[in-house]
Amino acid sequence: MASKASSKKTPPTLTVSSPGLPPQPQVNITHGNSRISAVLPTGESVEIMLYGATILSWKDTAGNEKLWLSEGAKLDGSKAVRGGVPLVFPVFGTDASHTETSKLPQHGFARTTRWEFLGKSTSESSAVSSMDGGDNSVKLDFGLSHSNLSAEARAAWPYDFGLIYSVTLSRDGLATSIVVRNESEGESGKGFEFQTLMHTYLRVNDIADVSVEGLESSPYIDKVAVKTTTSPAEKLSITSKTDRVYTPAGGPSKPVVVSEAGKKKFSIVRDNLNEVVVWNPWKDGAEEIGDFTPKTGFKNMICVEAGAVKGWQKLEAGETWEGGQIINC
């Protein structure tokens, strides 16, 4: 008698899979370990040169460049970069009357010294945005101390200090901040004074169509006319060589807005950086600057620089100071 086939059915195997991680920012060390680049999952990008911790490029999700970089900029570490965002420390310009920094070159040594890359961190604004497009931002940290300086710079500024410079790329903009610490200790520790500034070259299509809002009715030093005065109660337009140090009447938290053809292009909010420098060399100035290329490039840039450059910041042994800016588009 033939046996009957079993009517029992084998239950299907149930496979449980874990959901994949959301996309992560990509951070790479390139150009022979001399540059750090970061790209968000949504396409925004930034590139920083370790020489000077200088930001060379900042692009939005469509690949549009937000910073102006001279075609003649030296990118081999032979001199400060013309364009992007060079970092000024510990003196703005030169000051022969200030004993501590009188022996330093123009704008100090931070923009002409190789920094250390300290690493990255990422953040999410919400679970929904994380699921939708991955991490919202990436922060890149860079460090500089007395030991990183050349023998010449150490002799000219013999103070024990530490700097941490952070560049944060997000979907909405770019933030930069600097922490300054006096690393000397005890009663024998030496205090020091400093100035700092983020020398931001913003890219525009035509300077003739640009206006700057947020500097109205504010005191400023005009370095071209060599005078101190107060700005009128109207937006600033650039029509000639401009080099001004403003102390905006609205304070650091009130945005300084750069518009082009009546449309907002950049909005800058500062933290503990009380001054804003506005600079454009115009035609004659561009001709005089060897690495400013093309010479017509003044039409496509405006420097709006957040800084602490009017007077001096003082740090005693063990003290720390911090300042920064956020640029939104």
Binding residues for substrate: 82, 106, 111
- Whether omega before 22 lies within 30 degrees of 0, making that bond cis, reads no
What is the identity of the amino acid at 123? Answer: S
Residue with tokens 């957040």: 306
Q: Which residues partner with 269 through β-bridges? A: 326
Give all strands (DSSP E) within 31-133, no chain letters: 35-39, 45-49, 54-59, 87-88, 116-123
Catalytic residue selected from 100, 260, 275, 305: 305
Annotated binding-site ranges: 82, 106, 111
CB 185 within 8 A of CB 319: no
Tokens encoding 267:
């909005």
Positive or negative torsion for Cα 291, 296, 301, 302: positive
CB 243 within 8 A of CB 279: yes
Q: Which residues 6+ apart lie within 8 Å of 125 measured at CB?
A: 136
Catalytic residue selected from 44, 100, 199, 275: 199
CB 72 within 8 A of CB 291: yes
What is the identity of the amino acid at 121? Answer: S
Work out the number of other CB atoms within 10 angstroms of the CB of residue 27. Answer: 16
Active site residue 98: no
- Helices marked H in the chain: 127-133, 151-156, 282-288
Active site residue 199: yes
Rg over alpha carbons for the chain, rounded to the nearest Å, is 25
Of 111, 125, 118, 48, give the one whose Cα is nearest residue 82. 111
* CA–CA distance, 41 with 124 (Å, rounded to integer): 12
| Active-site residue list | 199, 305
